[in-house]
Structure formats: structure tokens, C-alpha cells
Chain A
Amino acid sequence: MIHIALEMLFGDRAKLIAIVIGVTFAALIMTQQPSIFVGLIMRTYAFLDDVPMPDVWVMDPGVDYVEEHKPLRETALGRVRGVDGVAWAVPMYKNLQTARLPDGQLKAINLTGVDDTSMIGGPPKVVAGSLGDLRRADGVILDVEAARRRLAWRDAEGVLHPLNIGDEFELNDRRAVVVAIAETSPDFILLPKVFTTYSRALDYAPRQARQLTYILVKAKEGEAPADLARRISTATGLKALTAYDFRWLTIGYWMRNTGIPINFGISVMLGFLVGAAVAGQSFFNFVRENLGQYAALKAMGLRNGVLVRMVLVQALVAGGIGYGMGVGLSAAFGTAMRGTVLAFAMRPELLAFSFAGVLLIVSVAALLGIRQVVQLDPAVVFRS
């Protein structure tokens, strides 16, 4: 009888399309919106992903997220190096500064100073020049987006000039020469990223008593990073986190202190409700309009259990088509947006999430249909 259920479903094109549209809409919103949300959240800790080498990040105890810059005294570096289990520890400078472009424009930039000797903390992929070029006088590395767009400047004729290797600009009135271009992961605030050596970064930055932003630590062979982080915290009074814990600290900050999860949650809920209403109502009507046929089948001796299976199959197939189309559209959206500023990360967990949402819609729709069919009195077929 299952093929009869399917022929009933596919034979009523208008209802099928309405059900599928409802489920597709819900699946699309429940996949696409969380994908954008996850993409945005991933950007809040993108910097950590670009610096994979250290096991432990040491910072001021008041730091709550990656882009919060609360500098330490230089002496902290020596104290951390003295903790048992530390293989190496290097300094990192990270703060917002101001760049003056050749056309006189002032632009905020995100300046990172990496260890002068090891270059640990540098950009993950240098696409023009090399990391070692940072050793050249006044050398800085720009990320691709900064070089091409965000730090591009216009001449008197209005012609746009991207910054290339060899070009110069000023950082806090000091000369900076582009020596390399690098690809980096887009972050949340999307400021131009400028990399230089730690010591040169201190020269560019206004003089302060505390200028060390992070200490990057590698654990000795066999040392558990979490244990080492605890030991560093105890020994120095500083906050020491594994990269994993720092990531979750950052996520927690954005989740707690911004309206982003609520806004996306509302979108997802609306998508779910609208999709559920359209799909549920359409499926309810589909079953209702076929009640005469179901009653005839019941009169002819078809069991309720078989009818329930038929309705379930109809709901699941319509829901499955809608889910596939919704997820497919979401994936197409993500593909179309690749390379743009839009954050989008369609992870398998999100597919499971939207699948659960669609399953809930389908279950409710099926229950509404099943209730009608099970309670249906077959004697109605004899009432004209």
C-alpha cells in the first residue's frame, strides 16, 4: 500500500508543492541562518586558527576574548619561561593602531608584532614575498584584503592604488614598507591586518609601561597543555589558556554580551514557525481532502496501522524532498557567497540541527494527518 500512498502524494501536485515549499523554507532558514551565525562566531577566534603553533596562550587575567588587548609587563615573559614544562615562550604584540596612507587618509589597522627571531605568530600563508622579509628595515606584511582594498589609496585623478611590495605608508608617523602579502582568515571586525616584528611593533605603538599582549607557549614533549596552562596561571597569576579554551572563552563572550545569538535565534524560530505552518496546514489539507478515499479504504478492510504508515510515508517523503531542497539552496547560497565578506560555515552539526527541525515539522504534520485518519469513521462512505 505504500506505493499507493506515494501515488496519492505525487498525484496531488499542488498540495505536494505547498508542503515542499513550507519544508524547504524552514530547512533553508534553519540551515542558512545558523551557518551565517557559526561563520560569524568562528571569525571571533579566527586569529587563533591562524596561529596554530602555541599550546598555551598567556594574557592579562582580565582578557575575555581574542581581540581584547590588555597588555602585560615585559617581565611576565621571563616568569612564564621559568615555569616547569615550558619548551619555549615568545612575545606577541597585538593592538589597534592608525595608518596614514599615501593620499593622507587615516585608517585604523590591527597591528600584530611577532617574535623577532622565530617569527612565530606570523600570518599562516604568505602569497608574495616571505615571512623572513620582515627582517628588512621598516618591513611590514599586509593581508591580501588590506593590500587590495582596505588600504588602497586614490591619487589626485581618483585612480585607486592597491598597496604592493615596496610601497610605503606611515604607522603613527613612522615609515612602514610593504615587504610581503599574506592570506589570513577573515576576522570579526574586518580591520586591515598588518604584521611586523615584535620589537618594531613596539616602536610603531605609542610608548607605554605595558605593551606585551600575549605570550605564546609551547609545552615540552609529553606535557599536557591544559596542565601546563594551570601551572603557568598558578605560578604567574596570569590567565593561561589552551587554544581550545581561549576559543571557547571568546565564543562565550560574544554569546553573552552581544545580541547576535538572539537575533539569529529569532530568525531561525520564525523560519521554523512559518515553514511548520505552511507545511503543516498543507499536509493537514492534503489528508483532509483525501478523507473520503481513506474512509473507503478503511471500509474495505484496510487496517489503521497500514493507514498510519501511509500517512507517515507521505509526510516523510514530502519532508525529505523539502529538506533536501532547503539544504541544497543553503549550500548554493554559501557557495555563491564564497570569497565575499559574508561569514558562512555550513557544518555537519547544522545539517543535523535543521534535520531535527524538519523532522519536528513533519512529525507534527503527520500527527495531524494520522489523528484525522485514525478517528475517521468508515461509515461516512455511505453518507452522501
Chain B
Amino acid sequence: MAALTASSGAASSGAAATAVMCRGVTKSFASAAGPVWALRGVDLEIPAGRVAMLVGPSGCGKTTLISVVAGILKRDAGTCHVFEADIEALPRRQQLDFRASTIGFIFQQFHLLPTLTVAHNVAVPLLINAVSRRHAIDRAHAMLEKVGLGGRGDDPPAQLSGGEQQRVAIARALVHAPKLIVCDEPTSALDHDTGMRIMALMRDVVVDEGATLLIVTHDNRIFPFADMMAHMDDGRIVDVRLNGGAAGAREALSGQ
């Protein structure tokens, strides 16, 4: 099993804190033919403030791993810490509070609430964290400015293009200043140019906010945007590499 550790390359960026630390994580699902192993002992360490990508073929366990990291799925064995907190070990209510305050989500299908305005959608994580409605909406508008959607806050999501909806999802993931953003196939629903622009935006905004970005993707066009990449196969991390990061992102964008 391979692991991306601070010492395996990220050390060059300084003694960053660890955002994600998984050791020997296993996860199986029941089936008629017996347990199906999605994770077979994953070791993973992601320093804070980096853009990390989990790549690999379909069914290799990427989505299961980010679900375990985010505390949405329970692991069978091993340990998994997010900013030194073992989410699973926390009482149920604290698990939810931790997830609500520390982790932001960008879903493949956006999952914006179609009946809410764009600003209200962005404000949802703040409302979950009991921020007052007015304050939440103000902050949502500010975040929309940041992702280039200033002035669209009162529109319904259906009036936005796919790329714009993805920007709303990014704004929603960042609005409550989470330390870790978990992102599932962010460009699968977007054309090439829009995908590149969205990745550049995510990188800029996430780096600007000082957050850590963990991306699951099949899309090799966006690999240059990663600081580090973990390749998964059959429930294991089989390779970990440092990547171009900011420089790669510039190259990828200039090559459009």
C-alpha cells in the first residue's frame, strides 16, 4: 500500500499540518455472494492546504474512500483522522457538527435546491451552522462575487448554465470557510473549456481560503491542477505522486 505523506514530497512546501490521515482503512458491503471489499487497507495522508486528487478506474473505491473520510460512511477497520479528529469516534451530534463546520462538499450533480435562489443555496451550510438568515445571505452574496456570479444571487439555479451551477456549488462548499473540501467528479458534467475554468477557479479560491481540496475524478484533463495524486485500484492506493500544482494549472490553462 502506498501513502502520500508530508515526508514523501509535500515537505518541500513546508511543515504543513495534516488535513487527512488514514491508516489501514477497510470497508466492505454485504451482498448475496458475501462481502464485497471496497477498501482493502488504505493508507493516505494529505497535508493541509493542498489540492489532492484520487484517481483510478470505476469501482476502485474512490467514492467509498471520500465518504469514509467525510464521516458519511463507517469504516470496518483502521483509523481515519481529519485535522486530527476521528469523526467516527465522536458522539453522533458532534460528528454532524464537525462535518457541518469543517467539511465542504461539491457533488457531481451539484444537488442545488431548485426552488431556492442561488444565494439561498449558497447560504445553506451557514444556516446548518445556525448562522442567522440575514448574515448567511450577505455572506452568500459575497462568496458569489468571489466565484464570478455577483448579481446572480436572486436567480433560480435553473436559469444558470452547467458551469455557473458548478460555481454555485463551489461557493456553497466554501461559504462557511471549511478546512477540507471534498469534491466528487467536479468536471464530469462540463465541457472542456468550462471544466478548465472551473478547476482554475476552485484552485484559486481554495488556495486563497487556505482550505484543502480532495477531488475524486476520472478526468485526466484536470490532473495538472493537483498538487498530489493518489491512484487507486481494487480498494487500494497503488501509487502516489506529486504534481505540478499551481504551475501545472497555469500550463493546463495556457494550453487550452
Chain A positions near chain B (C-beta within 8 angstroms): 1, 3-4, 7-8, 10-12, 292-293, 295-297, 299-303, 306, 378-379, 381-384
Residues of A with C-beta under 8 A to B72 = 299, 378-379, 382
Q: Return 21 A-B CB contacts under 8 Å, by A number.
A: A1-B127, A4-B116, A4-B124, A7-B116, A8-B115, A293-B111, A295-B111, A296-B105, A296-B107, A299-B70, A299-B107, A300-B100, A301-B96, A301-B98, A302-B96, A302-B128, A381-B105, A381-B109, A382-B63, A382-B66, A382-B107
Closest 9 CB pairs of A and B: A11-B115, A301-B100, A296-B111, A301-B99, A382-B63, A301-B96, A379-B67, A379-B72, A378-B72
Residues of A with C-beta under 8 A to B67 = 379, 382
Please report the C-alpha to C-alpha distance between residue A299 and residue B105 in the assembled complex, in whole angstroms.
Answer: 8
Cross-interface CB contact of B120 among A7, A299, A301, cutoff 8 Å: A7
Please report the C-alpha to C-alpha distance between residue A4 and residue B125 in the assembled complex, in whole angstroms.
Answer: 12
Please report the C-alpha to C-alpha distance between residue A299 and residue B85 in the assembled complex, in whole angstroms.
Answer: 18
Residues of B with C-beta under 8 A to A306 = 128
Within residues 38 to 86 of chain B, which ones have a CB less than 8 A from any CB in chain A?
A: 63, 66-67, 70, 72-73
Q: How far is the CB of B186 from chain A (nearest CB, A)?
A: 12
Chain B positions near chain A (C-beta within 8 angstroms): 63, 66-67, 70, 72-73, 93, 96-101, 103, 105, 107-109, 111, 113-116, 120, 124-125, 127-129, 133, 184-185, 188, 216
Task: State whether A300 touches B128 (Cβ < 8 A).
Answer: yes
Please report the C-alpha to C-alpha distance between residue A318 and residue B120 in the assembled complex, in whole angstroms.
Answer: 22
Please report the C-alpha to C-alpha distance between residue A3 and residue B113 in the assembled complex, in whole angstroms.
Answer: 13
Residues of A with C-beta under 8 A to B133 = 3
Nearest opposing residue in chain B for A3, CB measure: B133
Residues of A with C-beta under 8 A to B98 = 301
Given A4-B127, A8-B115, A300-B128; A381-B100 close (CB under 8 Å): no
Q: How far is the CB of B247 from chain A (nearest CB, A)?
A: 30
Residues of A with C-beta under 8 A to B185 = 384
Looking at chain A's contact residues, the main secondary structure is helix
Q: How far is the CB of B130 from chain A (nearest CB, A)?
A: 10
Residues of A with C-beta under 8 A to B101 = 301
Task: State whether B115 touches A292 (Cβ < 8 A).
Answer: no
Task: State whether A300 touches B125 (Cβ < 8 A).
Answer: yes
Task: State whether B114 touches A303 (Cβ < 8 A).
Answer: no
Q: How far is the CB of B200 from chain A (nearest CB, A)?
A: 24
Task: State whether B124 touches A297 (Cβ < 8 A).
Answer: yes
Residues of A with C-beta under 8 A to B107 = 296, 299, 381-382
Task: State whether B97 touches A383 (Cβ < 8 A).
Answer: no
Q: How far is the CB of B90 from chain A (nearest CB, A)?
A: 12
Task: State whether A10 touches B124 (Cβ < 8 A).
Answer: no
Cross-interface CB contact of A1 among B96, B105, B115, B128, cutoff 8 Å: B128
Please report the C-alpha to C-alpha distance between residue A4 and residue B121 in the assembled complex, in whole angstroms.
Answer: 9
Please report the C-alpha to C-alpha distance between residue A259 and residue B125 in the assembled complex, in whole angstroms.
Answer: 60
Given A1-B127, A8-B113; A383-B63 close (CB under 8 Å): yes
Q: How far is the CB of B245 from chain A (nearest CB, A)?
A: 25
Please report the C-alpha to C-alpha distance between residue A7 and residue B100 in the assembled complex, in whole angstroms.
Answer: 22
Residues of A with C-beta under 8 A to B73 = 379
Nearest opposing residue in chain A for B110, CB measure: A296
| 17 new A-B contacts at CB < 8 Å, known A8-B113, A12-B115, A382-B66 | A8-B115, A10-B115, A11-B114, A11-B115, A293-B111, A293-B113, A299-B72, A300-B100, A301-B97, A301-B98, A301-B128, A302-B96, A379-B67, A379-B72, A381-B184, A382-B108, A382-B184
